[in-house]
Every structure is written in C-alpha cells, then in structure tokens.
Amino acid sequence: MAQVIANSGHDDMIHDAVLDYYGRRLATCSSDKTIKIFEVEGESHRLTETLKGHEGAVWCVAWAHPKYGNILASASYDGKVFIWREQAGQWQRVHVSELHSASVNLVSWAPHDAGCILACASSDGNVSVLEFRDGAWGHQILPAHGLGVNAVSWAPSIAPGAIASAQQAPGPLRRFVTGGSDCSVKVWEWSAESSTYACVSTLSGHTDWVRDVAWSPTVLSKAYIASASQDKTVRIWTSTNPSLGDWQSTTLNFDAVAWRASWSLSGNVLAVSTGDNKVSLWKEKLTGGWECIKTIEE
C-alpha cells in the first residue's frame, strides 16, 4: 500500500486509501480535494480516474458492497458526502448529501444484507444515515455527540451467538457505534417501532476525544468494540447482549495518541495506529486480557 501512496498523483497529504471488495481497485483521497481511482494488478497500479467536485479536503472514501454496483462514498471538510457510481467505465456522481453544517469526518457502509445504507459522522455533532431504497435516497439525522462526531462503525448484521443458537433473528440487525469529541462512545440500534435509530448505550471512560471506533466483524459469543482516543488509550468493550447494554471494558495504554483502530476480517486481531508512527497488533489471551503480538514502526 505504501508504494501505491508514494506514487499517488495527489498534490497533498493522502487521508485515506481503500481497496474494493475484490482488491482490484484502490481509491485514495487527499487535501487536494480529489479522489483517485487506481486499477491494481499484482504489484503494479495505474491511475484510471480522478474524481473532482468537493470544495475541501476529502477525509474518507468507502466502497459499497459489489451487490450494489461499483459505488464509492466520499466525505469532506466541505460538509458534503458524495456517492459516486461507475457504469460502463464512466464515473458519475449520483447523489450529493448536504445534511451537515461542518466537516464530515468518516463514512461507513452497513453490512450489505442490511441494505444499501451509509452512516456519516460530522463535526456538527450529528450522524446522518443515508439509505437507497425503491430507487431513491432517504436520510435520517441523529444528534449524537454535541462537540462533534469523529467516527462511526457498523456492527455485524447477526447478533453475538446467534449462529450457535436455534432461534432465528427476525432479519439483519442494524446497529452501529459512534465516537465523539465529548469523550464518549455510543451504541445505536434501529427501532422498528419508531422507524429511527436510538442510542441504547453510552460508554464512558475516555478522558479525551475519541478519534476512532471499530466494531469487530466477529459473530461469536460476544460483541467487541474498540475505541481509540486522544487520551493515549484504546478501550476494548465487550458485551454478550448489546441491546441490553452490559458492556465491560479493558484498557490498552500507549505512549502517544491512539488515532485509528481496525479489526482483522476474522475479527480476532486488533491493529492500532498511534501518533508515534507505530502500528501494534493485539490479540485476546485465552486466559483473558489482551497482549501485543507485534509492533511495526513506520
């Protein structure tokens, strides 16, 4: 990935770089207000498209699941979220969301079986949830963290332990977590009764801004959320029943601000990037607690 970024063609700092579902395409975004699409072939890559239209730095790009087509979402300092679609080799902007009054910091697609749904975290304190249904984009706005929302991450669409139990869930779960500048982490769940997302848990403990949140894709006996904070810690929250909110937390301490946290696809290894240009990998011990299994210095 580093070599791709080194020859990215952007004039400014790269903020995000993500591969699509098949690993054949890379999207990058930058302070130069553009998004670049590369075709990846083995070790080589070639720039195929530059997407323009944002009026500020582009912080984040996210690919939708291929069942919805070649769709990319982008979030910018200009307060807008763009949805881009490629058809027959041509990229077009198919939707513009102008629901926020300040920077949109992160966008995250829901699990594909829950629907074509995008959550957007903004410095204006709100989370917007965009959903494509019946040929049109609908939206909801949720006041989430008064001082600003820095991150959002969706839960798996299957409840913890559901695979092992005989009970069938009524359908894919729609649940996500947010992290904010109010130092808190919040868990949200779709309510069919009120037809909106409701905050079902507020997780306190961080003493500074929560920079990132990541819900593990694992659907084993419990749910795992990692929250990375300016307070130089990552907290790992676990719950056997997130709807009831019985969250327990373990704290990992670092020498620098914890910027990002991400889980492996199998959900059992956590990568943490910190302000001292280190990435550390963590794994849960069989006896409980977490251990650092590797540190990579950039």
pLDDT higher than threshold 50 for residue 175: yes
DSSP labels, 112-168? GGG-EEEEEEETTSEEEEEEEETTEEEEEEEE--TT-EEEEEEPPSS-TTTTTSSPP
Taking the CA atoms of the chain, what radius of gyration do you get in angstroms?
A: 19
pLDDT at 278 over 50: yes
What are 188-230's pLDDT values in tens digits? 999 999 999 999 999 999 999 999 999 999 988 899 999 999 9
How large is the average pLDDT for residues 275-292? 95
- The average confidence (pLDDT) of the chain is 93
Q: Confirm if 281 and 269 have CB atoms less than 8 A apart.
A: yes
**Domains of the chain listed by start with CATH number:** 99-297 (2.130.10.10)
Tokens found for residue 264: 């492996």
Q: For residue range 83-139, what is the model confidence (pLDDT) as tens digits?
A: 999 999 999 999 999 999 999 999 999 999 999 999 999 999 999 999 999 999 999
Yes or no: say if 282 and 293 are a contact pair by the CB < 8 Å rule.
yes
Region 170-182: what's the mean pLDDT?
Answer: 93
How far apart are alpha carbons 189 and 235 in whole angstroms?
21
What pLDDT sits at residue 166?
55
User: What tokens does 140 get?
Assistant: 């909801």
Q: Are 198 and 188 contacting, i.e. CB atoms less than 8 angstroms apart?
A: yes
Side-by-side strand order, sheet with 35-41: 14-19, 25-30, 35-41, 44-51
Distance CA 211, CA 166 (A): 38
